[in-house]
Chain A
Amino acid sequence: MQLDVAIQKKQGDFSCDVRFSLTGRRVGIFGASGSGKSTLMHLLAGLLKPDRGHIRLGDITLFDSAAGINLPPEKRRVGVVFQGAHLFPHMSVRRNLLYGWQRTPAQDRHLQPDAIIDVLNLHHLLDRGVNLLSGGERQRVALARTVLTCPRLILMDEPLTGLDEEMKFQIIPYLIRFFASFDIPLLFISHSLLEMRLMTRQVLVIEEGRVNRQISAEELARSSWAGSRQGYANLLRLGQPEACGDLWAYEWGGHRLILTEGGDGYENIFELDAREILLFKRHPEATSARNLLPCRVGKHIAAGNRVRVELQCGADQLIAQIVPESLRELGLEEGKEVIAVIKASAFRRLF
């Protein structure tokens, strides 16, 4: 995807002046509520007309005030998955799915309904009324019907907001699998850092109607750490586990991690709070914690009474959060060897 945007729009007291140019397949738009994310989504989809500027998607101009071009939403082929799904309540799931597909010109229909229904596991829902679906099912149907319009770009506007945690982590794997198997560029709009890290690589940070930064999702997580009261969350992508007594062993960064959670997850992505990692100068020999990882200390950054320490564990990296006093006592200079101690129960499975 090559998206080139320079638009201005004034709406009452709020003005949106957005300029960015991006390439990439999964890009996030991150910002607090009221920052202008939804306005930007409406402008891109053609549901709001910018006051001036241009929007170009690949070699197609969607809007150009100077040239007098303003493609209506139905001609843009920019799919939108709205917050709260908004499935048509007077239609069955099947008719919702086919609504856009039937309106897509035959030469543009490069996806077939059956394939999408398969991937998103919607077979058993086809003849149901949409009012009988769960929140997660509604979002899957909303994604499927948007994808079936075979769009050049999909905008997802806070698709997971309003769903509970469990539901969220049921849908994210579907989304990841989906966008991995179909080559459709995605702009994922959210105010959740975790969703950004799971769903996107690059992120545009929007503040007060302006693009503030364009950084990677990981950089965003690290830079947001100082301002957030929560600790930094390490995301670990672990392979298939092996049973190890009552516990489970996973390969990670050349080490063997022992966790209480095992079994067959989709991708085995775990979250580990940076505050749960204890650092020891020497091997503690005996401890109740199951994971003792020799690491090399990387950079550390202080924010108030907290210090974030980067730890290089073989090929992978972890972030630990400690207090400045501990840093001084341990003498944690860059390059020094330490032992990171983590309890088997400190890892939380996301999906």
Chain B
Amino acid sequence: MSFLQPSDTQAILLSLEVACTATLVSTPLGIGVAYLLAHTRIPGKTLLEGIVNLPLVLPPVVVGYLLLVLFGRHGYIGRLLAHFHIQIIFTLTGAIIASSVVGFPLLVRSIRLGMESVDSVYGKAARTMGAGAWDAFFTITLPLSARAVLAGMTLMFARSLGEFGATIILAGNIPGVTQTIPLAIYEYTSAPGGDRMALSLCLVSIMLSLLVLLASGSVASSLKRR
């Protein structure tokens, strides 16, 4: 009997796909929201901050249930999407959305802290040197926050790899479609004799997380050296 079952390999690949997509899709939005929170005085900022941080304090199962209410066949967004024959629940997209919502506060918090620590004089200097507001943001503020963006992405990626509660409610636990590593481990542990298989997947999970930390550490130190 081999170390991993073919379905395990599928779960690993799915986990990576969900975590990568969720992180990459959320990052631009996370940068935007972090900028709004760090550098602007928009009305309703406190409310926005509360909504963004809510998934951090809510049980993931609650987040998953709320998403189900929104995206279900009779949900507000679900009904709208049904017109275009798009289904979110029990699909890979559902798993990605669940991971994105749960990991988003970690991403925004990290980027926001980074942006707040960038001295605003750099941006002002760029403006007086002929750069418009967007230009100054993309050439000065964002590169100076690069390490924080990377840290936020790492946190979010790791959180997505481990996401369980919201995913199982919104996307279900369908092998080969939405079954990621934590869901596969859950299935093994709830069946008799699956302990050894669960342990193998745990080891894979630990290895993946370590790899992510190492990779982000080395990118961060190369950014620092510049």
Interface size on B, residues (CB 8 A): 20
B136 nearest CB neighbor, chain A only? A74
* Cβ contacts B104-130/A at 8 Å (1 or 0 each): 000000000000000101101111111
Inter-chain contacts of A73 with B (CB < 8 A): 124, 127-128
Q: Return chain B residues, CB-CB under 8 Å to A89.
A: 122, 144
> Most chain-A CB neighbours within 10 Å: which of B124, B132, B135?
B124
Interchain CB contact under 8 A, A100 and B130:
yes
The answer on a CB contact under 8 Å between A99 and B129 is: yes
**Are A47 and B128 in contact (CB-based, < 8 A)?**
yes
Contact-residue size bin, chain A (C-beta under 8 Å from the other chain): 20 to 34
- Does residue B140 face the partner (Cβ distance < 8 Å to A)? yes
Complex Cα distance, B207 from A17, in Å, reads: 64
Which B-chain residue is minimally distant from A85 (CB atoms)?
B125
Looking at A76-84, A229-237, A292-300, the stretch in contact with chain B turns out to be: A76-84
Say whether B125 contacts A82, CB under 8 Å: yes
Q: Is B77 an interface residue (CB 8 A)?
A: no
Distance from B90 Cβ to chain A, minimum over Cβ atoms (Å): 45
Complex Cα gap A88–B226 (Å): 12
Decide: A86 near B119, CB < 8 A? Known: A72-B127, A129-B226: yes
Q: Pick the contact of B121 from A72, A86, A103, A129 — CB < 8 Å?
A: A86
A11 to B69, CA, bound (A): 47
Pick the contact of B128 from A45, A84, A88 — CB < 8 Å? A45
Tell yes or no: B143 within 8 A of A by CB.
Answer: yes
Q: A86-B122, A86-B125 are in contact. Are A103 and B226 (CB under 8 A)?
A: no
**Using Cβ atoms and an 8 Å threshold, which residues of chain B touch A100?**
129-130
List the A side residues contacting B38 at CB < 8 Å.
none
| A149 interface contact, C-beta 8 A | yes
A74 near B130: Cβ-Cβ < 8 Å: yes
Docked Cα-Cα span, A78 to B128, in Å, equals 7
Q: Interface 1/0s, chain A 159-195, versus B by CB < 8 A?
A: 0000000000000000000000000000000000000
Query: In the complex, what residues of B have CB within 8 A of residue A78's CB?
Result: 128
Asked whether any CB of chain A lies closer than 8 Å to the CB of B81, the reply is: no
Apart from A88-B122, A146-B129, list 14 A-B contacts with CB within 8 A. A45-B124, A45-B128, A80-B128, A82-B125, A88-B144, A90-B143, A90-B146, A99-B129, A99-B131, A100-B130, A103-B130, A103-B131, A129-B226, A149-B128
